[in-house]
Structure 1
Amino acid sequence: MSTTFAVAASMAMAAPSTAALTPPNIDALLSVDGAVSHVGEFSPEVARLVKGAGIAAKERALASYWTPERMRSARPMEKMISATTVKELTASSRASRPQGEPFTVPPAAPIELAALPAISSAATDMTISSTQPLYPIGHPVARTIGKVFFTQKGEDYVCSAGVVNATGKSLVWTAGHCVTTLDANGKRRWSSNFTFVPNYHNGSAPYGHWPALIQYADSNWVLNNDYKDDVGAVLMPRNSLGQRIQEVVGGMGITFGQPLQYTWAFGYPAGSPFNGETLWKANSPASDAGASIIYMENNMTGGSSGGYWLIQFNGNTGLINGHNSFVLDTVPGRMYSPYYGLATKNFYLSVESLTV
């Protein structure tokens, strides 16, 4: 019997887009070793919503396009890949073990956290292993993680993502396939109308809409569609107040070269039985799948891709050491991630100092 894998997030073909955000140093920001980049763009429909100049006009255009109703209706699209592809990858003798000395960046608090109302929400009774943490607005996890919405080939899709501590204070961390994928003809496509909504909850955007300035994906993901390198990052511009995103919401720490250990996963699953409207959490030990791919017991569905995995989690902060990448349709309740070794470390180091 053949086996297939399903990508646990939004995947589709891209549409032509216009109205890119282009800072003066765009060439330097696009030229990054070990990563393939693409300028964030608006589709013609969203470009027509931009009234005036500057980032505030683009924030308003995104908020006008991504209404609560449109955000709720944005859908994950699970892409199936053949068992042969993944079997060849995970059959490698390379174990997912530490490579060199561990490298760790600690969590970072925001410069000043504005007082915001708490979220009122009742827990959902579902016969699944994941749980709703029901964090109030402003909780260190809730404010650093959120949903990303984007358009591909005229359709609206959704993933999860989180702010990672970086010297440039402008970096959102996600899965590579949340920023770029291949269409049915094997052509590389990038997302347009990309917006990050920190602390998303039931259609609300308490920290606003953050457009993608530049999208980055690990070069091996782009060249080979290799799931051990399914890693992406998005450079955010300063908001209309001149603030960088990490200054507003903080950033989780990140670590590489660690032995496998107990893990907490977060994300916004949108595929049944979930609806994508609230944050969910799963926790279990991480295990080795081989060839720099790891897994954990985590039954989140499409839309959760890019949601970070934390180790050494203390209830408020932890260290990103994986993310929701793909699921195996024949093994319900198991989520896979790239192992955060040398290759992922190099990708992070190539983009973490970028800022505008």
Structure 2
Amino acid sequence: MRARSARTGTGASPGPRPGPGKAGYTVLFATVLALALLGVLVATRGAATDGPLAAGESSGHYAEPEGVGDAAADAMASAVRIEPGTPGRPVARAADRGAGRKARTDPLPPSRPLEAAPRDPSPAIGPLFSTDQDEPGHGCTASVVHSRERDLLVTAAHCVYTNGFRTDVAFAPGYHDGEAPYGVWVPTSIDVDPEWMSDRDEDHDVAFLRVRQVGTDTRVEDVTGAERIAFRPAVDRPARVLGYPGEGERPLACQSVVRRESASQLRFDCAGLPGGTSGSPLLTDVDADSGLGTVVGVLGGKDEGGDDETSYSSYFGGAVERLYRRATAG
């Protein structure tokens, strides 16, 4: 039963209130439409890691303007310590470690328990920072891989492209405890597969970034060394993952066996690889002294990386090889 209408003090029932009229409805409609459009824009921006975005080319290539990278580097300069005193200049090149000796391959026995644990940083691996916020923070990992120009990183596509290319990215190889011992590096270009751009196809969750150090001509590979990269890699082999948990100050690592999940996906069973480790390299044939190895995948792919027990990677087949060649051309 509906409640009775309230009465005014005179005992008379108030008459119907006049409507807003045609002009009022027009203003109301325009206001609602504007708010709806604003909501769409905000939602889209939020879905893209809450950072500024650029459209890039339909081919999956984005060339970052120099000023954009300079701004990201400036933001990092106030957030991390770059050792020693001269910005971006490490005391000694990690790439020189072990030069002239015979390589020893780490057998990579499975971690016991099969769970990620803290490990010392590796010079060629570091967090990807987002700089368009009050204080830069990191939510993905990338690694330096060998290329002719010695300036290439690999990570997961979902770390750098969601409805647009992220334009607030900075890389700090070997990062730990607020220090960037090998400098800060910003993209000159980012490449993802068009299949990722159009459909977020989990079989193409791979990205390559070419990077530079502001104010120098130094190449990142000359400073940190580089992982090798393998296409159509063999599976059922021991492997190591090393990556940075979100906002963590030191990396986590785990050793297990890399296996096939499907024709287009790899799997790596190990607990305790949380958010932030997306993009971390799956390494085989790791040098026991330098820690450098061969990248056969990056955490991502199925379910954008997996769950607390199992991680995934897009398989590095022909499509990833073509993406690598496109990224390194020119």
Same fold judged by TM-score > 0.5?
A: yes
The whole-number CA distance in structure 2 between the counterparts of 1:212 and 1:309 is 22
Residue equivalent to 1:129: 115
Q: CA RMSD in A?
A: 3.4
Is this contact kept in 2: 1:159–1:305, CA < 8 A? yes
- Structure 2: which amino acid aligns with 1:145? I
How many equivalent residue pairs? 253
Q: Which residue of 222, 228, 232 corresponds with 1:257?
A: 232
SS of 1:313's equivalent?
coil
Q: Are 2:300 and 1:314 equivalent residues in the alignment?
A: no
- Structure 2: which amino acid aligns with 1:12? A
Q: 1:61 to 1:281 in 2, by over 3 A?
A: same
The whole-number CA distance in structure 2 between the counterparts of 1:330 and 1:168 is 33
Q: Are 2:47 and 1:61 equivalent residues in the alignment?
A: no
Gaps in structure 2 of 5+ consecutive residues: 1-45, 82-92, 98-111
Q: CA deviation at 1:265?
A: 0.9
Q: CA deviation at 1:283?
A: 1.3
Is this contact kept in 1: 2:268–2:312, CA < 8 A? yes
- TM-score, normalised to structure 1's length? 0.62
Q: CA deviation at 1:311?
A: 1.2
Q: CA deviation at 1:206?
A: 0.9
The whole-number CA distance in structure 1 between the counterparts of 2:285 and 2:295 is 9
SS of 1:63's equivalent?
helix
Is this contact kept in 1: 2:61–2:191, CA < 8 A? yes
Q: Are 2:150 and 1:169 equivalent residues in the alignment?
A: yes
Structure 1, 318-327 or 302-311: larger mean CA deviation? 318-327
The whole-number CA distance in structure 2 between the counterparts of 1:278 and 1:11 is 27
Q: CA deviation at 1:301?
A: 0.8
Q: 1:215 to 1:165 in 2, by over 3 A?
A: same
Is this contact kept in 1: 2:185–2:214, CA < 8 A? yes
Residue equivalent to 2:325: 349
SS of 2:222's equivalent?
helix
Q: CA deviation at 1:156?
A: 5.2
The whole-number CA distance in structure 2 between the counterparts of 1:314 and 1:208 is 23
Q: Are 2:129 and 1:149 equivalent residues in the alignment?
A: yes
Q: CA deviation at 1:111?
A: 6.2
Highest relative contact order (Cα 8 Å, sep 6+), 1 or 2? 1
Q: Which residue of 60, 85, 93 corresponds with 1:36?
A: 60
The whole-number CA distance in structure 1 between the counterparts of 2:302 and 2:192 is 20
5 Å-filtered alignment, 1:317-332, equals 317-325=292-300, 332=308
Q: Are 2:236 and 1:267 equivalent residues in the alignment?
A: no
Is this contact kept in 2: 1:310–1:320, CA < 8 A? yes
Is this contact kept in 2: 1:14–1:151, CA < 8 A? no
Structure having the higher Rg: 2
SS of 2:176's equivalent?
coil
Q: CA deviation at 1:213?
A: 1.6
The whole-number CA distance in structure 1 between the counterparts of 2:300 and 2:173 is 20
Q: CA deviation at 1:148?
A: 0.7
Q: 1:337 to 1:35 in 2, by over 3 A?
A: farther
Residue equivalent to 2:100: none
Q: 1:327 to 1:319 in 2, by over 3 A?
A: same
The whole-number CA distance in structure 1 between the counterparts of 2:59 and 2:199 is 13
Q: Are 2:171 and 1:204 equivalent residues in the alignment?
A: no
Is this contact kept in 1: 2:183–2:213, CA < 8 A? no
- TM-score, normalised to structure 2's length? 0.67
Q: Which residue of 305, 311, 324 corresponds with 1:335?
A: 311
Residue equivalent to 2:48: 12
Structure 1, 214-223 or 319-328: larger mean CA deviation? 319-328
Q: 1:16 to 1:294 in 2, by over 3 A?
A: closer
**Identical-residue share of aligned pairs (%):** 23
Is this contact kept in 1: 2:187–2:209, CA < 8 A? yes
Q: 1:215 to 1:192 in 2, by over 3 A?
A: same
The whole-number CA distance in structure 1 between the counterparts of 2:306 and 2:244 is 22
Residue equivalent to 1:224: 199
The whole-number CA distance in structure 2 between the counterparts of 1:148 and 1:218 is 20
The whole-number CA distance in structure 2 between the counterparts of 1:11 and 1:277 is 25
The whole-number CA distance in structure 2 between the counterparts of 1:233 and 1:160 is 12
Q: 1:11 to 1:144 in 2, by over 3 A?
A: farther
Residue equivalent to 1:292: 264
Q: CA deviation at 1:159?
A: 0.8
The whole-number CA distance in structure 2 between the counterparts of 1:350 and 1:307 is 22
- Structure 2: which amino acid aligns with 1:176? A
Q: 1:278 to 1:330 in 2, by over 3 A?
A: closer
SS of 2:147's equivalent?
coil
The whole-number CA distance in structure 1 between the counterparts of 2:306 and 2:72 is 42
